[in-house]
């Protein structure tokens, strides 16, 4: 087997898998993935046992080796990680409890009190239960032992980097999305952390030391250090031996990495991802006035604005299994959806979709084709609602000439359906107005081929490392080269105008379309 020399590695640690993309200097690429291991509970809350992480990384590297890849000439790497995991370390730098997942939403009381503290929201933004800051306070309130044992708090992504390089930092991408970093200065939000700590009686006397639990802040995309075998950690030895001397770059939260890998290169683009969960994202300069309905994350020197449809392709997959059984035929569903008449479509709002799986909607629809089309139509309309809100998230009074949305990128599993593409495209066309040029031919889909074609977060991690290492002049040039797009087939038919009416009717309760 001919050997292939790895130059770039990008890892994506999601809730379901650890994925790894690799690229050679000549542009050869490959992709491997291993199922997530270590899912657990802590105080009945979703968590991850990170003891399994080095073994999963090693399995990915072994799988790439089996495909002929070698790693002994050094290279650059970066991680994309589920961005709200909370890691607590003791005085020896060891884990003493599982990492609370982004799915942990137990800290609702803490969130309410933190957001009411004067000056805190202005510094770190609105806090949500999945963020590390409220989860940390919630965990401390569970037991005095947790408070006494904790000597360092990290994200899972920064913890992985520390195991490889022995350097401790908080990356801005993860820090800003967890209430730990000041959104204006991109420094550790020490005053906000102390104020949050002081607001809870159980921490009386400790507010001054609370901020010391966190490491220094590093800008995402900057070099953290090299993989080194000095003072190795037991389960990391084999990983370190394979990647010895590789350069590690401060990683990205998964939303940040996914936006990079989807082609979000400028402030005139909106990315619509119809994946397991649906997301609508755009970037904007930090000085823009926001309406406040979007979640705000870092996007290098800009802000990443995100709106989410919690159950997108995940629901559609359950729908397909419900209809076909254990082996859903998604290609057949896509084909049949294209045959439907607009008059036979039904819109199922998000609150009704679960109920659909407990009924037999065929009885109220004209055909099986209409059943499949209505399922895709309903999800597409819900995403279009978020797109419409995202367009107006930046206060129109703060909109200068030239700051218009001119391109929409459609990605994710459902985006491969021609019918789904058509509904999104027609819906975008309805939005043409002051803040968006929503022409029918402004909707793009990925033109990427090969093993990384549908792996946006993994690709985003790779691009982060390559831009950080100077392989590309800037993010835009990297995305232009590595995230090719093609326009969704333009042109209206007479039938499309009838679909336009159906979409407009479903969107009627929301802001009027021009």
Asked if residue 370 is part of any domain, the answer here is: yes
Asked if residue 359 is part of any domain, the answer here is: yes
User: Residue for token digits 């003891």?
Assistant: 51
Domain check: are 325 and 232 in the same one?
no
CB 469 within 8 A of CB 247: yes
Domain check: are 323 and 248 in the same one?
no
Sequential DSSP letters for 400-434? -TT--B-EEEEESGGGG-HHHHHHHHHHHHTT-BT
Domain check: are 36 and 156 in the same one?
yes
CB 133 within 8 A of CB 127: yes
CA angle 258, 183, 265 (to 5 degrees): 35
Using CA atoms, how far apart are residues 53 and 98, in angstroms rounded to an integer? 12
Domain check: are 176 and 299 in the same one?
no
Q: What is the dihedral of CA 200, 204, 209, 215, to 10 degrees?
A: -20
Our measurement of the distance from residue 101's CA atom to the centroid of its chain's CA atoms, rounded to an integer in Å, reads: 14
Q: How many domains does the chain have?
A: 2
Using CA atoms, how far apart are residues 497 and 508, in angstroms rounded to an integer? 16
pLDDT value at position 491?
A: 58
User: How does strand 278-284 pair with strand 443-446?
Assistant: unpaired
Using CA atoms, how far apart are residues 68 and 357, in angstroms rounded to an integer? 45
Please state, as a whole number, how many other Cβ atoms lie within 10 Å of the Cβ of residue 414: 26
Domain check: are 248 and 328 in the same one?
no
Please state, as a whole number, how many other Cβ atoms lie within 10 Å of the Cβ of residue 413: 18
Domain check: are 318 and 381 in the same one?
yes
Strand partners, 270: 282, 408
pLDDT value at position 194?
A: 85
pLDDT value at position 189?
A: 92
Provide the H-helix boundaries in 50-119: 53-66, 108-115
3-state secondary structure of 321: helix
CB 297 within 8 A of CB 321: no
DSSP state letter for 212: G
Of 239, 255, 271, which marks where a domain is finished? Answer: 255
Q: Environment class of residue 121 by beta-carbon count within 10 Å: exposed (0-12), middle (13-18) or buried (19+)?
A: middle
Query: What are the 10-residue block averages of pLDDT along the chain, 514 residues in total?
Result: 92 95 96 97 96 97 97 96 94 93 92 91 88 93 87 95 94 92 90 84 55 91 89 78 96 91 90 88 87 86 88 84 74 83 84 71 56 90 91 71 78 87 87 58 86 92 96 94 85 68 76 43
Domain check: are 236 and 290 in the same one?
no
Asked if residue 495 is part of any domain, the answer here is: yes
Of 235, 255, 275, which marks where a domain is finished? Answer: 255
Using CA atoms, how far apart are residues 196 and 23, in angstroms rounded to an integer? 44
Which residue range is the domain that position 501 belongs to?
Answer: 286-447+484-509
Assign residue 391 a region: left if phi > 0, alpha if psi is -120 to 50, beta otherwise?
Answer: alpha
3-state secondary structure of 384: helix
- Which strand (E) or helix (H) includes residue 175? helix 172-176
Asked if residue 280 is part of any domain, the answer here is: no
Domain check: are 66 and 121 in the same one?
yes
Asked if residue 267 is part of any domain, the answer here is: no
Closest C-alpha among 233, 309, 293, 306 to residue 83: 306
Domain check: are 202 and 302 in the same one?
no
DSSP state letter for 90: -
- Exposure string of 439-456, with b = 16+ CB inside 10 Å and e = fewer, is ebebbbbbebeebbebbb
Asked if residue 504 is part of any domain, the answer here is: yes
Domain check: are 234 and 319 in the same one?
no
Domain check: are 326 and 210 in the same one?
no
3-state secondary structure of 170: strand
Asked if residue 15 is part of any domain, the answer here is: yes
Domain with 193 in it: what CATH number?
A: 3.30.420.40
Of 255, 276, 294, which marks where a domain is finished? Answer: 255
Domain check: are 131 and 66 in the same one?
yes
Closest C-alpha among 78, 77, 124, 82 to residue 99: 82
Strand partners, 271: 281, 409
User: Residue for token digits 């090299």?
Assistant: 226
CB 84 within 8 A of CB 138: no
Using CA atoms, how far apart are residues 150 and 163, in angstroms rounded to an integer? 18
CA angle 469, 263, 277 (to 5 degrees): 115
CB 51 within 8 A of CB 70: no
Asked if residue 339 is part of any domain, the answer here is: yes
């Amino acid at each position: 087997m001919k050997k292939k020399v790895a130059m770039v590695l990008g890892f994506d640690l999601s809730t379901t898998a650890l994925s790894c993309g690799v690229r050679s200097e000549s542009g050869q690429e490959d992709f491997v993935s291993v199922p997530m291991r270590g899912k657990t509970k802590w105080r009945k809350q979703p968590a991850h046992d990170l003891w399994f992480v080095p073994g999963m990384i090693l399995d990915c590297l072994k799988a790439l080796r089996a495909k002929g890849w070698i790693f002994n000439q050094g290279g650059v790497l970066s991680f994309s990680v589920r961005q709200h995991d909370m890691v607590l370390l003791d005085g020896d730098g060891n884990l003493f409890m599982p990492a609370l997942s982004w799915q942990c939403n137990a800290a609702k009381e803490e969130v309410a009190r933190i957001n009411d503290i004067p000056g805190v929201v202005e510094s770190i933004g609105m806090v949500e239960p999945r963020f590390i800051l409220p989860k940390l306070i919630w965990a401390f309130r569970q037991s005095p032992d947790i408070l006494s044992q904790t000597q360092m708090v990290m994200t899972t992504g920064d913890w992985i980097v520390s195991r490889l390089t022995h350097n401790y930092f908080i990356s801005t991408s993860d820090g800003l999305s967890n209430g730990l970093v000041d959104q204006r200065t991109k420094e550790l939000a020490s005053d906000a952390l102390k104020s949050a700590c002081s607001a809870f009686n159980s921490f009386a006397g400790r507010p001054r030391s609370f901020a010391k639990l966190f490491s220094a802040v590093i800008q995402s995309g900057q070099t953290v250090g090299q993989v080194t075998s000095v003072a190795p950690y037991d389960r990391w030895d084999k990983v370190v031996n394979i990647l010895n001397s590789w350069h590690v770059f401060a990683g990205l939260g998964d939303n940040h990495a996914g936006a990079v890998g989807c082609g979000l290169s400028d402030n005139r683009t909106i990315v619509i991802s119809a994946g397991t969960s649906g997301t609508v994202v755009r970037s904007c300069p930090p000085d823009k006035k926001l309406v406040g309905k979007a979640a705000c994350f870092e996007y290098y020197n800009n802000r990443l604005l995100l709106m989410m449809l919690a159950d997108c392709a995940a629901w559609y997959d359950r729908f397909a299994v419900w209809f076909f059984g254990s082996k859903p035929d998604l290609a057949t569903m896509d084909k049949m959806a294209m045959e439907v008449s607009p008059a036979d479509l039904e819109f199922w709002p998000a609150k009704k979709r679960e109920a659909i799986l407990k009924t037999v909607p065929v009885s109220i629809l004209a055909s099986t084709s209409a059943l499949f089309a209505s399922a895709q139509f309903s999800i597409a309309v819900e995403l279009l609602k978020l797109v419409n809100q995202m367009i107006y998230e930046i206060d129109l009074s703060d909109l200068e000439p030239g700051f218009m949305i001119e391109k929409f990128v459609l990605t994710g599993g459902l985006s491969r359906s021609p019918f789904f593409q058509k509904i999104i495209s027609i819906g975008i066309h309805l939005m043409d107005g002051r803040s968006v040029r929503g022409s029918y031919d402004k909707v793009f889909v990925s033109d990427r081929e090969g093993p990384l074609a549908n792996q946006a977060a993994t690709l985003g991690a790779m691009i982060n490392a390559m831009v950080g290492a100077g392989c590309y002049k800037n993010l835009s040039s990297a995305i232009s080269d590595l995230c090719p797009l093609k326009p969704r087939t333009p042109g209206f038919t007479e039938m499309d105008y009838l679909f336009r009416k159906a979409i407009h009717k479903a969107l009627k309760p929301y802001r009027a379309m021009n």
